[in-house]
Amino acid sequence: MEIYGSSSSIQAYDTNRLIISDIPRLLIINRPVEFTIDLSKAGKGQLEGSIPKQVKPLGNSKFHFTFIPLLNESHMISIKFNGHQVSGFPRQCQIITSDNVKIRGPSLNPILVGTQTWFTIDILHNDLSDLHVTIFTPTNEQLNPSTLLTSDGLRVDWTPSEIGTYIIHLILYGYSIPGSPFSVKSYDPKKILIIPPINDSTIGEPVKFLLDQPHVAYVHITINGIQIPLVAIRRHDDTFLLKFRPILAGDYLIILKDYIGQLIPGCPYNFPVYNPNGTHIEPFNRLQSINDCHFICNIDNVGQGKFFVMIYDPLKPIRIPCQIQNLSKNRIRISFLPSKIGTYKIYIAYRNIPINGKCIYLLCK
């Protein structure tokens, strides 16, 4: 039956036709969370929410929402349309902080190239089955490590194949967790090379040498059990300039260890330092019997090196044979048998440096 003089209108809506973009289940304190809601197919009505938020109209009944979690506690997100709860809400989202994430294992330290390594990840109050791990090599190639859920968390096994820095990404519910990505280094001790100085090294003068491999954890220099202060300067090409000032002549030991405390192959390196002013001729009589011509040279604390003696005939440029006798560790006796009476010219050198700075003369009669 038709009733005249009366009319009315009814607004229809459907909460199931709201389109809400993905809201992460995992929230990070102070990190903005953004999502959109599209009401264009749901009809007219009032939209309500349970969290403080900023709303930006996008037009055509679409809105952009932003909120920032500030408390370390679960957040219950409720969205209502015309007083009715939207399907899938309320939804509980967990807060994750760096304190909730525990990463352990040998992979956190520099790793030997070609050696299988591992680490575990545990996130408090979170399901790790959706945690995805991706590793990028120093040349930006992607590695897909093997993973296994254990009582200690998600175990990740992988093997570095080249020297350099690896970047590890940890993604949970499509978002990076706190501390991700992080980096680890890989090294190869067989490729470490020490480049010594070209010239001889002497006490009191700075000694410089290059280390062409930056992935060395431990370097020190000793002589006679004494550790020498060392300065390491990293250069732009990732080599290191190492400097020290020797205090004694002798053989210095350069000791290199990797990150697990093992000696680098070839260590310790032997590095000689000498004292050119440490050699001298002990006082002697410059007038000696032709039957017993000798003198003594002292080489105390001068370092390793070759000892040279050249004795010349008084009249001709002919070398006279001589005998060199070790009296003790640091004293050498030089003797010769003159063929005639006269003044003999004698050159003595240690490591090609003349002792006393010039030749000496010995009169034999």
Summarised one tens digit per residue, pLDDT across range 91-119 is 878 777 777 788 999 888 888 888 899 99
* Position 61 pLDDT exceeds 60: yes
Most confident of 33-47, 129-143, 269-283, 310-324: 129-143
pLDDT for res 167: 94
88 or 304, greater pLDDT: 88
Q: Which two tokens stand for residue 289?
A: 């019997």
Those residues with Cβ within 8 angstroms of residue 101's Cβ, 6 or more apart along the chain or in another chain: 121, 122, 123, 124, 177, 178, 179
DSSP string, 276-326: TTS-EEPP--SEE-TT-EEEEEE-TT--S--EEEEEE-SSSS-EEP-EEEE
Domain 15-96, CATH among 3.40.190.10, 2.60.40.10, 3.30.230.10, 3.30.450.20: 2.60.40.10
Q: Which residue has the tokens 């807060």?
A: 95
The answer to whether the 15-96 and 98-187 domains have the same CATH topology is yes
Question: Helix, strand, or coil here: 260?
Answer: coil
Nearest by Cα to 274 from 219, 341, 199: 199
Confidence of residue 198 (pLDDT cuts 50, 70, 90): low
pLDDT for res 86: 78
Q: Which two tokens stand for residue 36?
A: 């959109």
- Our CA angle for 350, 280, 225, nearest 5°, is 75
Please tell me the distance from the alpha carbon of residue 234 to that of residue 210, in angstroms, as a whole number: 10
Q: Which residue has the tokens 């939207």?
A: 86
DSSP string, 50-77: SS--EEEEEETTEEEEEE---SSS-EEE
Nearest by Cα to 273 from 195, 204, 356, 194: 204
Confidence of residue 299 (pLDDT cuts 50, 70, 90): confident
pLDDT for res 135: 94
CATH topology of domain 280-364: Immunoglobulin-like (2.60.40)
Q: Which two tokens stand for residue 334?
A: 């030089």
pLDDT for res 254: 79
**Strands 182-187, 111-112: parallel, antiparallel or unpaired by DSSP?**
parallel
Q: Which two tokens stand for residue 235?
A: 């250069």
Confidence of residue 137 (pLDDT cuts 50, 70, 90): very high
**Strands 287-288, 360-364: parallel, antiparallel or unpaired by DSSP?**
parallel
Amino acid of residue 231: V
Q: Which residues, in sequence order, are bridge partners of residue 103?
A: 121
* Position 257 pLDDT exceeds 50: yes
Confidence of residue 70 (pLDDT cuts 50, 70, 90): confident
Question: What's the whole-number mean pLDDT along residues 57-75?
Answer: 83
Phi and psi torsions of 253, nearest 5°:
-105, 120
pLDDT for res 9: 52
Question: What's the whole-number mean pLDDT along residues 182-200?
Answer: 75
For the chain, report the end-to-end CA distance as a whole number of angstroms: 159
* Position 35 pLDDT exceeds 60: yes
DSSP string, 5-21: T---------GGG-EE-
Domain ranges across the chain: 15-96, 98-187, 190-273, 280-364
The number of angstroms, rounded, from the C-alpha of 310 to the middle of its chain's C-alpha atoms is 53
1 or 152, greater pLDDT: 152
Q: Which helix (H) or strand (E) holds 168?
A: strand 164-172
* Position 1 pLDDT exceeds 50: no
- Dihedral of CA atoms 183, 189, 190, 194 in degrees, nearest 10, equals 110
Domain 98-187, CATH among 2.60.40.10, 2.30.30.240, 3.30.70.2860, 3.40.50.720: 2.60.40.10
DSSP-derived secondary structure letter, 203 = T
Phi and psi torsions of 6, nearest 5°:
-135, 135
Question: Helix, strand, or coil here: 144?
Answer: coil
Question: Helix, strand, or coil here: 262?
Answer: coil
Please tell me the distance from the alpha carbon of residue 87 to that of residue 105, in angstroms, as a whole number: 43
* Position 355 pLDDT exceeds 80: no
pLDDT for res 145: 92
CATH topology of domain 190-273: Immunoglobulin-like (2.60.40)
